[in-house]
Structure 1
Amino acid sequence: MTTRPPTLSTRGMVSSSHPAASTIGVQVLADGGNAIDATLAMAAMTWLALPGQCGIGGDAFAVVREPDGRVWTVGGSGFGPDGGETDFYTDQGLTSIPLDGPLGVAVPGAPAALAALHANGATRSLSDLWEPAAGSAERGLPCSAKTLQDIREAHLAIALDPDLAAVYLPGGGLPHVGQQLPQNDLARTIRSLASDPADFYLGSFAQKAVSTLRERGAPFSGNEWADGFKVDPEPAIAGTYAGAVVYQTAMPTPGWMVLQQAALCDRVVGYSPWMAAPAIDRLASAARLAFEDRFALCGSDNDEWRTLLLPDTVARSRASLDAKSRRREFSVAGGDTTSIVAVDSDGRAVSFIHSLAFTFGSKITVPGTGVVLNNRFGRGAYLIPGHPNSASPRRKPVHTLNAWIAADTAGALLHVGNTPGGDGQVQWNMQLLSHLLDHGLDPAEAVAAPRFTVYPGSDSDVIGQPAELRCESRIGKSTLSELRSRGHDVTLQGAWDGGGSAQVISLDRERGLLSGAADPRQEGIALGV
């Protein structure tokens, strides 16, 4: 596998993890749409192009930079069921919420987030922007290698859901790469959702979804589902790194963890050679500290994360890392998510990410709709009484998704990026920022750089597993040996097997050029106009 050079453009650019999504996004820009329009069109196309990774029944978050420098976010993440107290699950003998089936489902936040994004800056109707996806659903988008991999991973569970099996196990067996996978039910749902997003939460779709989940044992009342439509734009949270301002998504996302790592690594990592052992050691140690702090302190309905970014707290944590006095025995699981970035000719930029949590989410559909439901509640909520992230009504489980934009101190756009990958996201996004801001890598070099990951993070199903530092082999033997000598339990991965599918677009203001790239670890592409 080789690294492709970045795509260059002077008018606008998009990048995603699938060519069909990037193609529709760049067409929207070419037709005069803005970056929000392009993002909305790409998001819908990825429902077809990467169905194991995202969908209408999942969650979504975005960071938007306006041409005047203002930065705002939308956060689409729903509550678990109103009857989902911790003891509802523990009384059934469960030690964690099941990842497959109705008990793992949270109210999907993606439709509400997309509707809020549309209402606050789009120039085209949702019906226009989503019709290409609806048409592709009717015809059947060709199965990609990534989708086949996802189907193979989840095929036993897919076979148990008649609607899923009808699409993804045609004739009772695995599809082949290039085989068209028509989804007429989903096409109808996309068109209905485009005309009235509120129906998903307040109308006939909501009634069908809640009835389905209740019949299968999930304690939804319907009220928590209705409240899922309440998504309003919020200011981004922000920190600094290497002289830049980094904007991130707020709770329930772990965007603050990227800002915490940035504060712990600033003026340290950049002073080491690129990808040298001291730099990797500091980045990995900062990530472990962030995961420990999240597990100990943070839930979606408290502000404890803010204390971790206070100067005094950061100073104490930096001192402990400098002294090597904290060797973390905390560990991250991969995730199934996909991300999108877009910049238009006015300088408006969007970083967008959406997910079903794990591959094909809960592996169940709302019958007759084509909508696969997430398993975010099973993935994110703990069954630990009294914990700030324990299962509790009207408490959103902590999230893995986050998105970022970097600007200079005057507010001018520098970079927009993100990556899927579960708890790897907050680590790999920090690595991207270091590549771009500390070392001046271009987007193609940044997304293809050797990757490393502390494992595990704080997903409910991996807490307490032995700590590892997972490293792609391209990091090199001497560096890996030094990392072991620094106390890391290094696990070797294949040269390109670290996970994720990063997207980056950068602005070169001197030349008036945008440059962008999609991670070669997946099938994505950056395109410009």
Structure 2
Amino acid sequence: MVRAWAESLGGVVASEETIASSIGSKILSSGGNAVDAAVATSLALAVLIPHLGGVGGDFFMLYRTPEGNVFFVNGSGFAPRRLTRDEVLGRGLKDIPESGPLSSTTPGYLAGLYHSWRSFGTMEWTDLVRPARLLASKGFPLPSSTARSLKLRRECLESDPGSREAVLNALPHQEGAPARLPGLSALLTGVEDDPLYLYRGEPAEALEEYMASVGGVIGVEDLAETRGFIADPLISEYRGWKIWEMPPNTQGVTTLHLLMLLEDIELAEPISPQRINVLANLARRVYSIRDKYVGDPRYMPIDPQSLARKETLLRLLGGEEASPARSAGDTTFFAVADGEGGIVAGIQSLFYPWGSCVTEPRFQITLNNRARGFTLKEGLPSTLRPRALPLHTLSAVIMEREDRAFALGASGGHLRPQQHALFVTNIVDYGMSAFDAINAPRAVWDPGRDEILCENGFACQQGWRKVERIGVANAVETVGRVKRGYTDSRGDGLPAAAP
């Protein structure tokens, strides 16, 4: 295993793509703070691996300031005004489809990114967008994960004319081959001058026109109202460590719920079936709480901060219900630490690889399928409603004790809270370094199939389903003035340090 870490006094960036990490570190070297570097890194990832975290998806950020204050930025899109329960049922569907024009919420990605910069950034916006725009214009070697996704999702992409033109026919299908995204470059050219260009410029009109042509319902009014916003993060403690997670409409509270229950248990050996059986049993319980109580906070019966308290969790566990089957999804997580002590945990996603498989061809905007986070069952926080935020699988962790702090996270959709619990307990209970914590073999419970997934290298029990990998993680750590970045051997990226 390559020891993929970097350390510096000037700051570090850890992402799934080495080019993106390098772009972020150059922003740090130019005097930018962690949020500036996060914006540039995120946009580079949207170009390099658009199937995981492109501009048609969403963006969330936890930011710990050098003074130790933690903020959450929500860049989640919402259900278009015409995406209603009656609309879905009227088309002969029993549920929101996994792909296609009815599976998308509005793309909150650029709105969330802009709100992050406007609230906390220090450099000129244009300087942060330009590296990604040049990357899309001049080209880049096609990453292996993008090449794999084109093969795995080919049938889905072929079902949409825009995806055939702007994805399958526009990109090479061989890893390492030169790739360009001229439509995305044109979009980013507009974004350099107007951060909300997608929502009120030509791209908004192009999106509405294309979606109407394929049976979609997203309109210019929906896009014009899409904005990022700041909300209070959730905070808990685990064995003396402060743990911050993202609040609803994300599933971050489920990470905290797992840790609350694990704190009362003597854990088994780190790479043992006993440890995972305990985790799986707890996950079955806390996921039922998530599916019943978590969604758009405006419709939650319990205040998010109250839901993040242990006494509330213990009370609710008495009335738990079975967790519905869901698919895992995918995304990309990155982390940044600057020289002044600022830390960012950033995460972006279309949900499934290539999301809805619907692409507006002129600007190469592939839309998410995040409407799958809604249910047609009435009376829940995640019930489909116009302008509602879906139950979101994206979340990330910042943890701190004395002069040590970490930002960490991973891809993995509905599996994410269990992975976060593994990382935290690897560090706190088993004394692993952050590098070892995210690279150790994993096993988790899959709520979609009610079975345990197990990577090679783990002590898998009979009946567990072996898989090649479970998510791709990254992390940064600060110890006093020293900053370290770590990447996961499951991914393709390397961390980069600023001098």
TM bin (shorter chain): over 0.9
Larger deviation, residues 63-72 vs 131-140: 131-140
Match of 1:525 in 2: 494
Tell me how far 1:414 sits from its aligned partner.
1.5
- Name the structure 1 match of 2:427: 436
Classify 1:413/1:122 alpha carbon distance in 2 versus 1 (closer, same or farther; 3 Å): farther
Mark the CA change 1:286 to 1:399 in structure 2 (over 3 Å): closer, same or farther: same
Residue in 2 that maps onto 1:106: 105
For 1:416-443, what per-residue CA distance to the aligned partner results, in whole angstroms no more than 9, with x for missing partners? 1111111111111111111112222112
Instruction: State the distance in 2 between where 1:120 and 1:327 align.
Output: 40
Question: Which segment is superposed worse, 342-351 or 422-431?
Answer: 422-431
1:445 counterpart residue number: 436
Matched to 1:373, the amino acid is L
1:163 Cα offset (Å) = 4.7
Match among 428, 446, 449 for residue 455 of structure 1: 446
- Looking at structure 2, the residues matched to 198 and 516 of structure 1 have their Cα atoms a distance apart, in angstroms, of 31
In the alignment, residue 369 of structure 1 is paired with which amino acid?
F
Q: Which residue of the partner structure matches residue 261 of structure 1?
A: 258
1:279-298 deviation per Cα after TM superposition (whole angstroms, max 9, x unaligned): 32332222221211122233
The CA distance in 2 between the partners of 1:13 and 1:39, in whole Å, is 11
**Structure 2 SS opposite 1:114:** helix
Query: Identity of counterpart residues, as a percentage?
Result: 27
- Counterpart of 1:363? 357
Quote the residue 1:498 is aligned against: 469
Match of 2:291 in 1: 295
Partner amino acid for 1:491?
Answer: W
How far apart, in 1, do the equivalents of 2:487 and 2:293 lie? Answer: 35
Matches of 1:26 and 1:5, distance apart in 2: 16
Separation (CA, whole Å) in 2 of partners of 1:53 and 1:131: 21
What corresponds to 1:473 in structure 2? 456
How many residues align? The count is 495
How far is 1:151 from its partner? 0.5
Are 1:513 and 2:452 matched, yes or no?
Answer: no
Q: Which amino acid aligns with 1:428?
A: Q
Residue identity in the other structure for 2:333: S
1:9–1:76 CA distance, 2 compared to 1 (3 A): same
Q: Which moved more, 1:351-360 or 1:498-507?
A: 498-507
Please state how far the C-alpha of 1:506 moved relative to its aligned partner: 1.7
2:364 partner letter:
G
Deviation at 1:303, TM superposition (A): 4.6
Name which of structure 1's ranges 110-119 and 176-185 shifts more when overlaid on structure 2: 176-185
From 418, 421, 437, give the equivalent of 2:412. Answer: 421
Matched, 1:380 2:373: yes
1:274-320 per-position Cα deviation (integer Å, ceiling 9, x unaligned):
334443233222222121112223321315355543343344578x8
Displacement of 1:448 in angstroms is 0.8
Given that residues 44 and 131 in structure 2 are in contact (C-alpha distance below 8 angstroms), is that contact kept between their aligned partners in structure 1? yes
1:396 and 2:395 are equivalent in the alignment: no
Query: Quick check: 1:159 aligned with 2:163?
Result: no
> If the length of structure 2 is used for normalisation, what is the TM-score?
0.93
Counterpart contact for 1:285–1:327, Cα < 8 Å? no
Q: Give the aligned partner of residue 486 of structure 1.
A: none
Which residue pairs with 2:276 in the alignment? 280
CA contact (8 A) 2:167 2:364 kept: no
Please identify, of 93-102 and 209-218, the stretch whose mean Cα deviation from structure 2 is larger. 209-218
Matched letter for residue 250 of structure 2: T
Q: 1:399 to 1:119 in 2, by over 3 A?
A: same
Deviation at 1:52, TM superposition (A): 0.9
1:398 partner amino acid: L
Q: Deviations over 1:169-225 (max 9, x none)?
A: 348x96211111211111110121121122322333223222322343233454332
Which residue identity lines up with residue 378 of structure 2 in the other structure? P
Aligned-partner SS, 2:134: helix
Q: Is the 8 A contact 1:167 1:181 kept in 2?
A: no
Contact 2:4/2:488, CA 8 A, preserved across alignment? no
Deviation at residue 162 of structure 1 after TM alignment = 4.7
Unaligned runs of 5+ in 1: 457-461, 482-489
Residue deviations 1:46-102 (CA, integer Å, cap 9, x gap)? 112111111111100000000111110100111112122212111222112122221
Where do residues 220-235 of structure 1 align in structure 2 (5 Å cutoff)?
220=218, 222-229=220-227, 231-235=228-232
- Structural RMSD (CA): 2.4
Offset of residue 259 of structure 1: 1.1
Distance in 2, matches of 1:112 and 1:142, equals 28
Distance 1:186 1:39 in 2: 19
Native 8 Å contact 2:295 2:392 kept in 1: no
Do the aligned partners of residues 366 and 170 (structure 1) sit closer, same or farther apart at CA in structure 2, a change above 3 Å counting? closer
Cα drift, residue 336 of structure 1:
2.2
Query: In structure 2, what is the Cα distance between the partners aligned to 1:392 and 1:303?
Result: 16
CA distance in 2, matches of 1:403, 1:127: 27
Amino acid at match of 1:228: T
Range with bigger deviation, 328-337 or 277-286: 328-337
- The corresponding residue for 2:333 is 339
Distance in structure 2 (CA, Å) of the matches to 1:330 and 1:107: 25
TM norm structure 1: 0.88
Taking a change above 3 Å as real, the CA distance of residues 413 and 225 of structure 1, as seen in their structure-2 partners, is: farther
Displacement after TM superposition at 1:374 (Å): 1.1
CA distance in 2, matches of 1:133, 1:471: 36
Contact 1:52 1:336 in 2 (8 A): no
